Amino acid sequence: MTNQGKLGKATFGAGCFWGVEAAFRQVKGVISTSVGYMGGEFENPSYEDVCSGRTGHAEVVEVVYNPFVVSYDELLKVFWKIHDPTTLNRQGPDIGKQYRSVIFYHDAEQEAAALSLKEKLQISGKYKKDIVTEIVPAMKFNLAEDYHQQYFEKTGYKGCQLF
């Protein structure tokens, strides 16, 4: 790379990965996104495996970003904005552990930032219920099937214009 330095990686689960990916793709400084599965105990799960609720995986979006354009803290703010972090294993009509609110951190700085912002949000009074978002170390990322990648762009869905 030139003077841009090292790219960052962040991984978030906030319900169905289609909308989460669409939201992060709108953020200036995001280089790429991939949807997939993380946090489970089943080797190389398929979408059907994860949807069964038996693998322990969450639907996640892996975000590659330029930290000189967008900070990890800014990505965290997007994460908190796009879903309800007070609903356990549910986002909207999607129910199950695969739809849980989770931040998979890739280093100690990400962990500290995620924990700090979660605590600030909890005491802010913004949410009437406790925040149930998990903050856990990143594990093996299992790339979802190709038809899930950039799903909203492929299907022409326009319902996720956040910025």
CATH classification at residue 145: 3.30.1060.10
Q: Is residue 34 part of a domain?
A: yes
Q: Is residue 160 part of a domain?
A: no
pLDDT along the chain (163 residues), means of 10: 74 94 96 97 94 95 98 98 96 93 98 98 95 98 86 65 42
Q: Is residue 52 part of a domain?
A: yes
| 51 classed as catalytic | no
pTM metric for this prediction: 0.91
**Structure tokens given for 88:** 């356990």
Give the E-state strand segments of the chain in sequence order: 8-14, 30-38, 58-65, 90-91, 94-95, 101-105, 134-137, 142-143
* Overall domain count for the chain: 1
Are the C-beta atoms of 101 and 127 separated by less than 8 Å? no
d(CA 60, CA 102): 8
Which is catalytic among the residues 8, 10, 11, 16? 16
Give the model's pLDDT for residue 161: 44
Maximum CA pair distance of the chain?
Answer: 46
**Residues of the domain holding 73:** 8-155
d(CA 133, CA 100): 7
Q: Is residue 116 part of a domain?
A: yes
Give the model's pLDDT for residue 158: 57
Phi-psi region of 124 (alpha: psi -120 to 50; beta: other; left: phi over 0): alpha
Q: Is residue 1 part of a domain?
A: no
* Rg value, the chain, Cα: 15
Q: Is residue 149 part of a domain?
A: yes
d(CA 44, CA 89): 22
Q: Is residue 3 part of a domain?
A: no
d(CA 82, CA 106): 21
Give the model's pLDDT for residue 162: 44
DSSP bridge pairs for 59: 37
